[in-house]
Structure formats: structure tokens, C-alpha cells
Structure 1
Amino acid sequence: MTVGPALSVSLNAIGKVMAEAHDSWWIIASAAVALHGADPGHVADVDVLLSVADAQRILPAIGIELRSGSPHAAFRSSIFGTWTGTALPVEFMADFHRRSGEAWLPVRPATRQPVEVDGLAVFIPERVELQAMLTAFGRPKDRERARSLAAVS
């Protein structure tokens, strides 16, 4: 696994604040692809899925205003917040859903793989599940990341 310095600093910060989580949480999307050792393309931010209870407790403690919604029309969360106190922005999403036609489907990984970054644990879905998740998201950049994951054994 090779992650750049900005991603490493951000993952370290996430590991520290999420150590206070009571429920399962995951890093998904491009950062998770990088943690699996695949080429994620450009990593512009880090996406974190967490429970509503953890979001309500942890996010205000690091200065994040709790709001609903998402910056993308194909996704929504009961609680969404962006943390800019790290090298890369971190997007926290609680009760995260993706649009499929007219339906909103929950996104909650079934697998949880720990990855150590600078002595701290962060969690990602297992490779096959992450690949399926990215494919289901349907955006070209997500499909490309899914193909990159498929090439890693």
C-alpha cells in the first residue's frame, strides 16, 4: 500500500478522532482504493461512513456543523459534514444512501477490514465489497476505481 503524504496525514487525523466511535465506521471511495493498494486516480478528499449517533457526538467535538444532504445529487445522508482541519478535506456521512432509479438504497458495508496507518487503525470494506459498491455508484470515476481494484489480487 502506497499513500501520498496528504492522504497519510488525513488518515492519521481520522484514526485519532474516530477512535472515539462506538459503532462501526469505514473509509470508502478513492482513499479506500488506495489503502487496498490499487490506483485510485486523484484523491481529492476522504469519505467516512459512520453512524448517526457517532456523528452527533464526534463531529461537533471537531468543529463540524451537522447538516443533511450531500454535494452530489446521486447521494444523500441524514448527517453530512466536511472537516477541513486535515491535509485533505474529510467528508463524514451518516445514514448514507445512493440513488438507484427512483429509489434511495442504504450504503452500509457488511465487511470491515482494519488497515494500520502510522500506528492507528482505520477501516475499509474488503476489496470485493468495495469494488461492488463503487460499481453501483455508477459514476465514471467510481467505475474506473472498481476496475483498478479488480486488477489487485
Structure 2
Amino acid sequence: MVKSAINADLAATLDLVAAGCAGLRDDWWVFGGAGMALAGAPGLSPPDVDLIVSERDAAQLIALWNAQLETGGASPLFRSKIFAKADIGPLPVEIMAGFEVREPHGWSPVWPSTRQAVERPGGTLFIPTPAEQAQICRRFGRPKDLARLPALEALI
């Protein structure tokens, strides 16, 4: 059983995400800081909830939550085929489909291979396992991601 380490704003937003994602057809994940907090990493106060979803599920969530599509260019490190922001709770929710990270050999998809269920009052959420979250942090290589490795590794 996963013991989540989350604050009240994150908890409220995650419960809304769980309810909204209950009808999705494809695999999906909460990742980033919110996913790490759900895994039990202590001391995190993510400013948003990041979701990795399929393209068809992104369309469903965008319609359900009246999310705003972001059409700006990709960052130097990340890009998504679909990127939208939804204001459904205390924290914004970022919906990403076709999410990729730039690595030395070019752009590579970020699509977790593990899927761990976390039960919340609003429903079930899914996260990559702590081990896979640590691998993703290494792939991203940013100082904030690398700083989170010890907390994730302690959960493995």
C-alpha cells in the first residue's frame, strides 16, 4: 500500500483528477512532483498536477474540464503533441499527450511502462512506480529532478 505525502491543495485537486479520469479508455499516469508525492516522497508541494494520457483521452479531458490548449513552442527539453491546462481545483492540471524529452540522440517519448494504483477518496489514480519515477528524473536531468532522486530511491 502506498502512503501518500500530500498537502490539502494537492489532495483536493487529485480527488478531482481521479473522478475525471475514471472513464478514460487508455492507460494514464500522474507524474512529476504530484506523482512523487503520491508515491510517498516527503516534503513536496508541487505547483500543479501533471498527467500523461493518450491523444484520445486528452481530447476527452479537454472537453470535460474545458481545458485551454497551449499552442506555444516546445521548451528546449520537453514537448507534447497535445498540451493543455485545466483549472479544476486549487492547483492547475497539465494534460500531456505525445509527451517527449530531448535526449542526446534526439526526442524520445515519455510513456511509463509501470502503473501503480493509488486509492484516494475521489477514486483511483495511477503513477509510475518509484523506481520508474527515479529513471524518469535521471532522463530529465534537471537539478530539481536530480535533487528528488534520494527520496524516490528511499521508496524502492
Who is 2:48 aligned against? 45
Across the two proteins, how many residue pairs are aligned to each other?
Answer: 153
Q: Is the 8 A contact 1:50 1:92 kept in 2?
A: yes
Matches within 5 A, 1:93-112: 93-101=96-104, 103-112=106-115
**Once the 2 structures are TM-superposed, how far is the Cα of residue 71 of structure 1 from its aligned partner?**
6.6
Q: Distance in 1 between matches of 2:58 and 2:138?
A: 26
User: More displaced, 31-40 or 126-135?
Assistant: 31-40
Does residue 143 of structure 1 match 2:139?
Answer: no
Q: Is the 8 A contact 1:56 1:66 kept in 2?
A: no
Who is 2:15 aligned against? 12
Cα distance 1:95–1:40, how it changes in 2: closer, same or farther (>3 A)? farther
Q: 1:30 aligns with which of 28, 33, 40?
A: 33
Q: Is the 8 A contact 1:113 1:125 kept in 2?
A: yes
User: More displaced, 117-126 or 63-72?
Assistant: 63-72
Q: Is the 8 A contact 2:28 2:53 kept in 1?
A: yes
Q: 2:61 aligns with which of 45, 49, 58?
A: 58
Question: Structure 2: which amino acid aligns with 1:117?
Answer: R
**Once the 2 structures are TM-superposed, how far is the Cα of residue 42 of structure 1 from its aligned partner?**
3.4
Which runs of structure 1 show a deviation greater than 4 angstroms over 4 or more consecutive aligned residues? 67-71
**3-state SS, counterpart of residue 141 of structure 1:** helix
Q: Is the 8 A contact 2:50 2:93 kept in 1?
A: yes
**Once the 2 structures are TM-superposed, how far is the Cα of residue 135 of structure 1 from its aligned partner?**
1.3
Identity of aligned residues (%): 36
Who is 1:75 aligned against? 78
Q: What is the alpha-carbon root mean square deviation over aligned residues?
A: 1.7
Does residue 122 of structure 1 match 2:125?
Answer: yes
**Once the 2 structures are TM-superposed, how far is the Cα of residue 19 of structure 1 from its aligned partner?**
0.8
Task: Give structure 2 stretches of 5+ with no counterpart.
Answer: none
Cα distance 1:42–1:119, how it changes in 2: closer, same or farther (>3 A)? closer
Task: Give structure 1 stretches of 5+ with no counterpart.
Answer: none
**Once the 2 structures are TM-superposed, how far is the Cα of residue 73 of structure 1 from its aligned partner?**
2.6
User: More displaced, 71-80 or 24-33?
Assistant: 71-80
Q: Is the 8 A contact 1:47 1:90 kept in 2?
A: yes
Q: Is the 8 A contact 1:70 1:77 kept in 2?
A: no
